Amino acid sequence: MVKLIALLVKREGLTDVEFHRHWRYNHGPLAAKITSMEAYCQCHLVPRPPADLSIADTFGGTAEVWWEDLDAAARLATDPEYTEHAEPDEPLFIDMDRMIFMTVKEQEVLGSRPAKADGGLKVIHLVTRAEGTDPDEFRARFEAADEAAAAAELKMSRFVRTCCVPEAYTVKPPAFDATREMWWPDEWAFAAARENAAEAWQSLVETPFADASRSHFLVTIENRVVWFGQ
């Protein structure tokens, strides 16, 4: 299974509330008409993310779509369930020229996939590989890193890593090479985890094979619109 991550930029002229309202209540039901996808969720940036994190605030959040394989994902471009409903709506709230896409595969590190109704805070670490590290070397080191103990010490309810597939580098290198996706019950739990287990947090965000200065965060709440058979 592969996942497409789209980092969305708000269209000029919209307030934050207008952007998130349209995305959730107008666009979500249109995207839900696409029956070929395995799941679709919206990760909305929280209004006041932690000031001490390098927040990628150009983006209002991520749209994430799971597909059976790359061929299924590619067929979306000509699928009438997309072209007649969700696609025409996108320019109404998204700056289409500034969107960023990542095609990734997931790696479960801690926890398991939650039920659709389960909530919580999802922190997305957008990871850029270190200068001089080629994508294959980065992927091997990122996927082999032993981070489960740090995740447990930080009391994450779930921890997933994703890495861009090799095909993503054939035309234009993606803006980010990987993500860490980390869940806590709420924003206070996240703040407490970083304070109580500061060394574990640093061990995740300052790995030698990644460039911390070009890696950023999104602190979000998920809206699971279509969810794995539910």
Phi–psi pair at 74, nearest 5 degrees: -65, -30
Domain count, the chain: 1
Those residues with Cβ within 8 angstroms of residue 29's Cβ, 6 or more apart along the chain or in another chain: 225
Q: Is the pLDDT of residue 53 over 90?
A: yes
pTM: 0.97
Position 119 confidence tier, pLDDT thresholds 50, 70, 90: confident
Q: Is the pLDDT of residue 173 over 90?
A: no
Position 230 confidence tier, pLDDT thresholds 50, 70, 90: confident
215 backbone φψ class: left, alpha, beta (φ>0; ψ -120 to 50): beta
Q: Which domain holds residue 167?
A: 2-227
Is 161:144 a contact under the CB 8 Å cutoff?
Answer: no
CATH number at residue 101: 3.30.70.100
202-228 confidence digits (pLDDT tens) = 999 999 999 999 999 999 999 999 999
Rounded to an integer, the average pLDDT of 122-138 is: 96
